[in-house]
Amino acid sequence: MAVNNSLAPKAKKTSNIVEYESNGTKISLSPETVRNYLVSGNKEAVTINELAVFINLCRFNGLNPWLKEAYCIKYGNEPATMVVGKEAFQKRAEAHPAYDGSVSGIIVSTESGEIEYRTGTFKLPSETVIGGFAEVFRKDRSHSCRVEVSMDEYAGRKKDGSLNGQWSKKPATMIRKVALVQALRESFPHNIISGMYTAEEVGQEEPVEMPVEQLQQELADQQSSNNMQESQEHIQENGSSEQQTTQQNPAAAALFS
């Protein structure tokens, strides 16, 4: 009869929690937390590698996903898309001592066929948005950085070619965001987030977040559940499903190290 040796050393529990600071706030992210609360779309299909990449992109760039500074979007079995909120780019630019403001708006084709530049996003029902523009100023440069983008190049579309929800309802708002983010990125290449783009730039719809009260309650419930599980010995012996997956996947394990 086999006898369990209680004195035998148990396997060290692997922690997939990544901690870092964002604007003075301590952020703790795990694959389970990201999948449950920060993935938009088909969260069940997101892979451990995609979760690890998203977590580390947030860590390396000092982004706080709870403040809508970063999103992980997963549709069907397509690769997950990692995007940044426009406000994150603006915060980085405004924190730079050389930042001296910006102007942005839309380019419209009027009913008479004329092309006009409008600061902001106002347009008449008879007019068509054909692009966006943005100009960013720096105190340490004699020339501003101006960007103009085409609506046709960036508008998000469905598989049938029609505009997706946000681009069909708010085309002026969406294309203005694209122009502003690109101008900010070119104006502050060493200070703006690297390797990530906004949802508007990649033709995606920016996710709609759940109410703060609901999010706080679900996070509290999840933390309570995790504490109860960690008190049980079988967690140390077998590990959670996420931990087992990471241990079996060298790429994910390296990203969490």
- Separation in Å, CA 16 to CA 33, 68, 79, 242, 246: 11, 22, 22, 8, 8
Indicate whether 79 and 40 sit together in one domain. Answer: yes
The whole-angstrom separation of Cα 182 and Cα 177 is 9
Asked if residue 221 and residue 246 are part of one domain, the reply reads yes
pLDDT band at 256 (very low <50, low <70, confident <90, very high): low
Lowest mean pLDDT among 28-37, 148-157, 185-194, 236-245: 236-245
The total domain count for the chain is: 2
pLDDT value of residue 23: 84
pTM (two decimals): 0.71
H/E segment holding residue 181:
helix 171-187
Q: Closest Cα to residue 192, out of 67, 86, 53?
A: 86
Q: Are residues 71 and 108 in the same domain?
A: no
The pLDDT tens digits of the residues spanning 84-101 come to 988 889 998 999 999 999
Both 238 and 213 in one domain: the answer is yes
User: Of the given ranges (89-98, 112-121, 191-200, 202-211), which has the lowest mean pLDDT?
Assistant: 202-211
